[in-house]
Amino acid sequence: RKEVEQDPGPFNVPEGATVAFNCTYSNSASQSFFWYRQDCRKEPKLLMSVYSSGNEDGRFTAQLNRASQYISLLIRDSKLSDSATYLCVVNPLGSNFGNEKLTFGTGTRLTIIP
Amino acid sequence: SQTIHQWPATLVQPVGSPLSLECTVEGTSNPNLYWYRQAAGRGLQLLFYSVGIGQISSEVPQNLSASRPQDRQFILSSKKLLLSDSGFYLCAWSDLRGNSGNTIYFGEGSWLTVV
């Protein structure tokens, strides 16, 4: 089993729709979780951290399910500008440690259709 | 605010030629610095990380090397490039002490094509 696994997609979603995708991780001791957004041929950019209690930032909601070892990202009222690849990132270490153990998923490609 | 820059953005190099990618961070001191490579259809692979000047840890054996001659400067090098070195190279930083916690931030990336 891969350490971090994502459905590569592509997810083709009409503008205004709600879309959700999950990311599973294999290390049950993982401590920190993130979603990054990567546009074509650009660097990944932090979208949001994922907290145990779940968190929301505008149209984006991230949730963590430790029992089933997955995180999710929900995008409501999708915009054309949401088209990108979304990377799931997992850190098995605590927040006081470095990021040398960060594990990146291969990403889920999302295309919003007008 | 903190910024990170890397260059060159794009380069095409013949097999066997040397490589030098440079990365600098501004607005912070003693950051953790990282070099990643992203191959098509694959997740980011950590190549090197550094917790201080002259301190380099290598994650993957390869014909690449890294150096940190100054606190906020990180360099990726190769003496002789292989075709398999082609890819998207990303420099990144993190700062455990600030509000960023253990969040990692990336430079703009460098596209390397070895021909």
Confidence of residue B98 (pLDDT cuts 50, 70, 90): very low
Whether A17 and chain B come into contact, CB under 8 Å, resolves to no
pLDDT digit string, tens, across residues A28-42: 888 889 999 999 999
CA distance B18 to chain A (A): 24
d(CA B19, CA B112): 9
d(CA B99, CA B111): 30
Q: What is the pLDDT of residue B90?
A: 97
Q: What is the pLDDT of residue B40?
A: 77
Higher pLDDT, B98 or A15: A15
Other Cβ atoms closer than 10 A to A16: 10
Q: What is the pLDDT of residue A31?
A: 82
- Mean pLDDT score of chain B, rounded to an integer? 90
Of A46, A49, A87, the CB nearest to B105: A46
Compute the average pLDDT of residues B2-11: 95
Whether B49 and chain A come into contact, CB under 8 Å, resolves to yes
Q: What is the pLDDT of residue B115?
A: 97
Q: What is the pLDDT of residue A98?
A: 64
pLDDT digit string, tens, across residues A46-85: 999 998 888 999 999 999 999 999 999 999 999 999 999 9
From A6-20, A29-43, A89-103, B15-29, the region with the lowest mean pLDDT: A89-103
Classify each residue of A58-82 as buried b or exposed e, where b means 16 or more C-beta atoms within 10 Å of its C-beta: eebbbbbeeeeebbbbebeebeeeb
Q: Do B32 and A99 touch (CB under 8 A)?
A: yes
Compute the average pLDDT of residues B38-56: 88
Checking if the pLDDT of B83 tops 70, the result is: yes
Checking if the pLDDT of B97 tops 70, the result is: no
E-strand ranges in B3-114 read 3-7, 10-13, 19-26, 32-38, 44-52, 55-58, 64-70, 73-78, 87-94, 105-106, 110-114
Contact A79, A114 (CB under 8 A): no
pLDDT digit string, tens, across residues B50-70: 989 999 998 876 789 999 999
Whether A33 and chain B come into contact, CB under 8 Å, resolves to no
Cα within 13 Å of Cα(B67), Cβ side: 8
Q: Tokens in use for B39?
A: 């191959």
